[in-house]
Amino acid sequence: MKTTRNTTAKTAVLEVFEKSRTALSHTEIQKQLNDVCDRVTIYRILDRLVNDDIVHKISNLDGTVKYAKCNHSNQRVHIHNHAHFSCENCHEITCLENVKPSYIMPHNYKVKEINFTLSGLCPNCLNSNI
């Protein structure tokens, strides 16, 4: 069985996540890492973190992909059914841990994962009345 190692690069990436209130793209992580490691390594670390349920991947309407730390890694069944908010002004993406959509599916579909992203203006940008 494949074990996951704690490398300096991985630790650095996790620290970046720890410091961030919002979800981060590969590029944003790379900028904050200041050449701690190669671009490719970041991709591979992110893959592993997603695989190990430490981070979850968020895909935005505009095609950008971001990542955020999971704060429920302790749960037995690990699913990300919370919503995300994408601000059209500041482009920040945040987890809305308490927003979970309810819906009724037609028969004959097997749903395994959901991706619910809302976009518009975040509280910050709404207050600066843009």
Partner DNA sequence: ATTTTATCGCAACATTGTTGCAAATGATAA
Partner DNA sequence: TTATCATTTGCAACAATGTTGCGATAAAAT
Q: Alpha carbon of 115 to those of 23, 56, 59, 69, 111: distances in Å?
A: 15, 11, 8, 16, 11
Contact between 34 and DNA per CB under 7 A: no
Contact between 64 and DNA per CB under 7 A: yes
Contact between 98 and DNA per CB under 7 A: no
User: In whole angstroms, how close is the CB of 83 to Zn ion at the nearest point?
Assistant: 8
Residue 7 or 65 with smaller CB distance to Zn ion: 65
Say if CB 24 and CB 68 are below 8 A apart. Answer: yes
**Residue 6's binding partner out of a second copy, Zn ion, DNA, none, with CB under 5 to 8 Å set by partner kind:** DNA
Contacts of 90 (CB under 8 A, 6+ apart): 122, 124, 125
Q: Is 57 helix (H, G, I), strand (E, B) or coil?
A: strand
| Binding footprint of Zn ion, residue count (CB under 5 A) | 8
Q: How far apart are CA 107 and CA 95, in angstroms?
A: 30
**Residue 55's binding partner out of Zn ion, a second copy, DNA, none, with CB under 5 to 8 Å set by partner kind:** none
Residue 18 or 103 with smaller CB distance to DNA: 18
Residue 43 or 130 with smaller CB distance to DNA: 43
Annotated binding site for Zn(2+): 87, 90, 122, 125
Contact between 91 and DNA per CB under 7 A: no
**What's the longest Cα–Cα distance across the chain?**
54
CA angle 82, 74, 93 (to 5 degrees): 30
